[in-house]
Amino acid sequence: MMRHLLADDDLSPAEQAELLALAAALKAAPFSQRPLAGPRSVAMIFDKQTLRTQTSFSAGIAELGGHPMVIEGSLAGIGTRESVPDVARVVGRQAAAIVWRTDAQQRLEEMAQHAGVPVVNALSDDYHPCQLLADLLTVSEHKGELAGLTVAFLGDGACNMGSSWLLAGATAGMHVRIAAPQDFQPDRGVTDRARKIATTTGGSVAVDDDPVTAVRDADVVVTDTWVSMGKEAEVEQRLETLAPYRLGAELFAHAKDDAIAMHCLPAYRGTEIDAEVLDGPRSVVWDEAENRRHVQKAVLVWLLGAAG
């Protein structure tokens, strides 16, 4: 059966653990698997600005023996000049897999229905599953485990990273705390899905508006940019409302002494996170950025294997 990675809960707990173990193996031996040797192409479609996604997928596809085929979404005219199903049918006959960084989750689902090859969500407005796999790999490297750890996510809990932490953290058996103002709290449907997953993994989910409560005794503290792509018109309101959630040294001090600080980047020092935390000794942001390559290679190996 054709598998895709469109949202974090597309993976069962066992599949998530399998992918993370594969990513760790590929990090230790980068050229040990070459399913794209030939080379076969992987299409990377970008509707949004990109640095880590393009560089990490490009490098990873090359290490797997393949060719990264970059498609600029605005030039292709996806959804305007050509329908998503038509693009899917055309690109799916040229590439072994499709990686898409776009806006609406529905577009990714439509692409997956018609492509005939695995489709990977490289970011949508709703989820960022590749970033979360990189974050989980990073946490496991620094903490030695995932299940039972407490992670606090601060700020815009309604963004794709908040939703992905709820789903992926619960899948890993972690205790996920979201601290966000009322207008920035996660979608109720996503929270309910995460709570259902947590009942099977021993994790838990909590949503509150108090950042200190969320951070207290946490093992991992996470934040994300407050003005995501497409939210630029809301910048003043966002910066004012989210100010109490800035991850500075005073707030970070409520976490465990060995807690780590995470940010998926790009980071705005002095806005959602202070420089002394982002650049401090307990920051693991550069490991997160590197690990995008290793987990995305694992995703491609796993999906291509499932596709046969």
Active site residues: 101, 128, 131, 224, 264, 292
Which residue in this structure is represented by tokens 């989980």?
Answer: 136
Element (H, E) at 164: helix 160-171
Q: 13-28 and 160-171 helices cross at what angle (nearest 10)? A: 100
Burial tier of 265 (Cβ tally within 10 Å: 0-12, 13-18, 19+): middle
Number of Cβ atoms within 10 Å of the Cβ of 302: 20
Distance CA 124, CA 160 (A): 7
Half-sphere exposure of 212 toward its Cβ, with a 13 Å CA cutoff? 2
Residue partners of 171: CB distance under 8 A and separation at least 6: 8, 9, 11, 12, 13, 16, 197, 201, 203
Beta strands in the chain (DSSP E): 41-46, 67-72, 97-101, 119-121, 150-154, 175-179, 204-208, 220-223, 260-263
Distance CA 298, CA 76 (A): 28
- In terms of Cα–Cα distance, which of 134, 165, 133, 132 is closest to 150? 165
Number of Cβ atoms within 10 Å of the Cβ of 271: 18
